[in-house]
A and B are shown apart, each in its own frame.
Chain A
Amino acid sequence: MDYDVVVVGAGPGGSMTARTLAQEGASVLMVEKRPEIGMPVRCGEGTGVAGLKELGITPHPKFIAQEIYGDYLYSPDGTKVDMRTEEPNGYCLERRMFDKHLGILAAKAGAVVRTRTTATGLITENGTVKGVKLRHFDDEYDVKCNVVVGADGIEGRVGRWAGISNRTKLGEMTSNVQFELVGIEMEEPNVLEFYLGGKYAPGGYVWIFPKGPDVANVGLGIRKTKETALVYLKRFIAEHENLARGSVASIVVGGVPVQGPLEESVGNGVLLVGDSARHVDPLTGGGIYNAMHCGTLAAGVIGEALAAGNFSKEFLQKYHELWWKEVGEGLMRSLRVKEIIEKLSDDDLNKIAKFMQGMKFGEIDIKEASSIVTQFPPEFAEFVQSLL
């Protein structure tokens, strides 16, 4: 064997897997097809304070653009629901720097990191993955290993090469475009803004994630529309005077799979982490934390597999069960809420927003929350519960 493990993809999922494995003493190669880890960015860059803390990632000004204190939700008629928090509950990251930081942590822990190195296929023997075929400029070579981790994001191929179907159906993929706008005005430069409704973003939502006093990521995701996401975004910005005056410092484009988690994420000698395993939240589109968290879970189970010398699908299935237990149920709940929202008209959303206006979310206790939820018609209750 050349390495114990090869990790394909140096996004947050891949880097956390590689780092944790290397810390445990495994020999790890992490390959990334892009010339620079973290570039180009494909993200709104929002993540939670609690998640980073739990994963032991110390926030650093080089990758934290802005601390976030909750959010405002806007319904299609402009009704605002105030969900601000007293304490910071999130960050707007510089993903470019964040991903690179995680890659560097993996390398410092002992993983071998190779950029501009593409996995072009798997090496399989008797139905078991035994390595990867790699390309680096004009060099094509094979690397043998015990386990291949597909942390290769939405465009990833490792899953499909291994016979794990992780393709997303058209209606289950949101198409997203985001402008980083400079010189704009926001209600508060440390509060996220979300705009819901078919008027703005059918099948998705608009986000404004502040990165500084007058800089923000303004983006949206849509599904099942005739016009492109770009058309919707330009229209939204043109209709909002405070944004329309901004200059576009960067453009981000990408797809987010919102069909919920995979039923199968492991095979003989192979497993999937992050977006390639559909660990992204189907309601919010957030996937950074889950990719990182599941990366650490994967590393734990691979560590056990290395100790046992058993890389079978049956052994690695423990990882599948673990992440389903830890994040799968939450993802399924988000999926249900997303399905409820899909059925709500813009009018329904306005009604819900009006009802929720004036509530102080941080101060609602569990008892009060359940009494609020029961006041809603049953089809709205789960949605409201998810917000509380």
Chain B
Amino acid sequence: MEIDYHCFYCGTCANVCPKMAIELLDSGVVEINMDCEQHIHNEKRCGICIKACPVGAIHGL
């Protein structure tokens, strides 16, 4: 998963993520941690954050 420059750091993705894998750091950075399904199982991403993002800033690699 990748977050691009469209990101507004709004937290929508962090809320909908079933794994608590997305964190808004205080430094103004959104981080996808190792709990993301794709990282753990090397499986297909669940993609919920991609669909929820209001500006289309998240992409599956």
Residue of B nearest to A42 (CB): B10
Main secondary structure of the interface of B (DSSP, over half): loop
Number of interface residues of A (CB under 8 A): 31
One digit per residue, 1 when the CB lies within 8 angstroms of any chain A CB and 0 when it does not, for chain B 31-60 equals 000000000000000001001111110000
One digit per residue, 1 when the CB lies within 8 angstroms of any chain A CB and 0 when it does not, for chain B 1-14 equals 00000001111101
> Cα distance A118–B28 when bound, in Å?
12
In the assembled complex, how far is the CB of residue B14 from the closest CB belonging to chain A, in whole angstroms?
4
Query: Interface size bucket, B side?
Result: 20 to 34
Say yes or no: B20 contacts A160, CB within 8 Å: yes
Tell me which of B16, B25, B48 has the highest count of chain A C-beta atoms within 10 A of its own C-beta. Answer: B16
A-B interface contact total, Cβ < 8 Å: 76
> Cα distance A257–B11 when bound, in Å?
11
If A177-B55, A229-B55, A230-B55 touch, whether A254 touches B12 (CB-CB below 8 Å) is: yes
Chain B residues positioned under 8 Å from A153 (CB to CB): 11
One digit per residue, 1 when the CB lies within 8 angstroms of any chain B CB and 0 when it does not, for chain A 84-120 equals 0000000000000000000000000000000011100
Residue of B nearest to A154 (CB): B15
Residues of A286-302 contacting chain B, CB below 8 A:
none
Say yes or no: B53 contacts A228, CB within 8 Å: yes
Say yes or no: B15 contacts A167, CB within 8 Å: yes
If A254-B10, A255-B11, A255-B16 touch, whether A175 touches B53 (CB-CB below 8 Å) is: yes
Task: Decide if A251 is an interface residue (CB 8 Å cutoff).
Answer: yes
Chain B residues positioned under 8 Å from A175 (CB to CB): 12, 52-54
Chain B residues positioned under 8 Å from A155 (CB to CB): 10-12, 14-15, 24
Chain B residues positioned under 8 Å from A253 (CB to CB): 8, 10, 12, 54-55
If A160-B20, A251-B8, A254-B10 touch, whether A168 touches B56 (CB-CB below 8 Å) is: no
> Cα distance A169–B24 when bound, in Å?
19
In the assembled complex, how far is the CB of residue A42 from the closest CB belonging to chain B, in whole angstroms?
6
Task: Decide if A176 is an interface residue (CB 8 Å cutoff).
Answer: yes
Say yes or no: A170 contacts B8, CB within 8 Å: no
In the assembled complex, how far is the CB of residue A19 from the closest CB belonging to chain B, in whole angstroms?
23
Task: Decide if A320 is an interface residue (CB 8 Å cutoff).
Answer: no
Residue of B nearest to A223 (CB): B52
> Cα distance A135–B18 when bound, in Å?
25
A255 touches which of B20, B26, B54, B56 (Cβ 8 Å): B54
The 8 A-B pairs at the shortest CB distance, nearest first, are namely: A155-B11, A255-B12, A253-B8, A175-B54, A155-B14, A229-B54, A33-B26, A254-B10
Which residues of B are in contact with A by a Cβ distance under 8 Å? 8-12, 14-18, 20, 24-26, 48, 51-56
23 A-B contact pairs sorted by A residue (CB < 8 Å): A117-B26, A118-B25, A154-B11, A154-B12, A154-B15, A155-B11, A155-B15, A155-B24, A167-B17, A167-B18, A169-B16, A170-B48, A173-B15, A173-B52, A228-B56, A229-B54, A230-B54, A254-B8, A254-B54, A255-B12, A255-B15, A255-B16, A257-B15
For the A-B complex with A229-B54, A251-B8 known, give 20 more contacts whose Cβ atoms are closer than 8 Å: A116-B26, A135-B26, A154-B11, A155-B12, A155-B15, A169-B16, A170-B51, A170-B52, A175-B52, A228-B54, A228-B55, A230-B55, A252-B8, A253-B8, A253-B12, A254-B11, A254-B12, A255-B11, A255-B12, A255-B15
